[in-house]
Amino acid sequence: MARHRRVIETARDLAQLYGYDQVATPIFEFTEVFKRTLGDTSDVVTKEMYTFTDRSGDEITLRPEGTAGVARMVIAEGLTQSTPLKYFYAGPMFRHERPQKGRLRQFHQIGVELLGVTGPQGDIEVLALAKHILDALGLGDKTTLELNTLGDTESRTAYRKVLVEFLEQHIDKLSEDSRQRLTRNPLRVLDSKDENDRRIVADAPLFSDHLSDSARAFFDEVRAGLDRIGIAYKVNPRLVRGLDYYCHTAFEFTTDALGAQGTVLAGGRYDGLIETMGGAATSGVGWAAGVERLGMLAGDPPAAPRPIAVVPLGAAAEAKAQVLVQELRRSGVAADLGYSGNLARRLKRANRINARSAVIIGDDELAKGVATVRDLDSGTQETVPLAAIAERFRSQA
């Protein structure tokens, strides 16, 4: 949880600096929300979604990703008239796939969506935020930004034609899934995880050779913007998104620090998504990242402040300790109250919770209005007026 909290809070705080408001969408949605957005032929829809029928007979699905829920929210609330919209989200997602390092069936994501910005500056901004978050987590040197363009409608139409011509020459060697996708959504063949499919598409025509002039100019401006703000990247011409509503920039931050090279943050532009879901034509760009993987890469966060252990001895001291421990906490000092046991047992607990000092209060101390403060690292101790305890530790925090 400490790793999770660090990733989510770091991302949320930086997203706020960029003007992104946090939103939360339902953990389950009507299944059609995801079928429309992810595509009937995608592995997520056909193999990985947790889908079931509720008591009303409605088919619902535990959300496998966050963008579809945000898009549905924007349409349902009529927010497309108020663009640009800038959203950050964090929460659990669900996919039935083989659990592996950093990938669980209930996993967690952070993500951002920027809606209503048609120009390259939107792509540049969400990439700048992603890089800022990774740098803040100490992952700037452990990740590589891979970048590609999917062009515009004109570009994709031209590319789809030459891709189909190429793949049809190898149709007898393609996997069953890819043969089905060839007729319905040929770009998804490029996403295939089948090793033989991968060998075939390695020789496929490049998207970049079929870009329209305007699509090429858009990509050039994205790259120029990243250069201006000092974000390094490498162009990966094989990086694609299979669905038609994706366009222009596609990107992934990858790492090899978790063993086999893997993606820790991915996204792109999806100008046709909200229209696909029945809303008004609205441009969009965003990304999502796996919290578990980022947490594993970032490691344990800095240790929490060491507490002060308040150790009362006797009924009268117990009453005073309750007041003192609240004074410490309200002063911003982490404090722990020893609930029971003799002095040795309570000091043993103080050491177990890694307290930096113990404030010992007995009948003698109460009579004098003082406490014995013991430094648990050095073992030295001194007498301090009870009224000065909170201020004493507040100044040392």
Task: pLDDT tens for the chain, 397 residues: list them.
Answer: 999 999 999 999 999 999 999 999 999 999 988 887 776 656 666 678 899 999 999 999 999 999 999 999 999 999 988 889 999 999 999 998 877 766 789 999 999 999 999 999 999 999 999 999 999 999 999 999 999 999 888 888 888 899 899 999 988 898 888 888 887 778 878 877 788 888 898 888 888 888 999 999 999 999 999 999 999 999 998 888 766 678 899 999 999 887 665 889 999 999 989 988 889 899 999 999 999 999 999 998 888 889 999 999 989 999 999 999 999 999 999 999 977 888 889 899 999 999 999 999 999 999 999 999 999 999 999 999 999 999 989 877 6
Angle, CA 159 vertex, CA 158 and CA 162 arms, to 5°: 95
pLDDT score at 340: 82
pLDDT score at 374: 95
Domain 308-396 fold is Rossmann fold (3.40.50)
Cβ atoms 183, 172 nearer than 8 A: no
Q: The tokens of 394 are what?
A: 């507040």
Beta bridge partners of 370: 385
Q: The tokens of 5 are what?
A: 């909290």
Contacts for 374 with CB less than 8 Å, ≥ 6 apart:
357, 358, 360, 380, 381
Cβ atoms 45, 39 nearer than 8 A: yes
Domain ranges of the chain: 2-152+212-298, 308-396
pLDDT score at 36: 77
| Nearest alpha carbon to residue 135 among 202, 214, 232 | 232
Q: The tokens of 325 are what?
A: 């421990």
pLDDT score at 64: 92
Q: Which amino acid is at 288?
A: A
Q: How many CB atoms lie within 10 A of CB 274?
A: 25
Is 2-152+212-298 a CATH 3.30.930.10 domain? yes
pLDDT score at 242: 65
* Torsion 285-290-293-298 (CA) sign: positive
pLDDT score at 56: 94
Evaluate whether 2-152+212-298 and 308-396 have a shared fold: no
pLDDT score at 61: 94
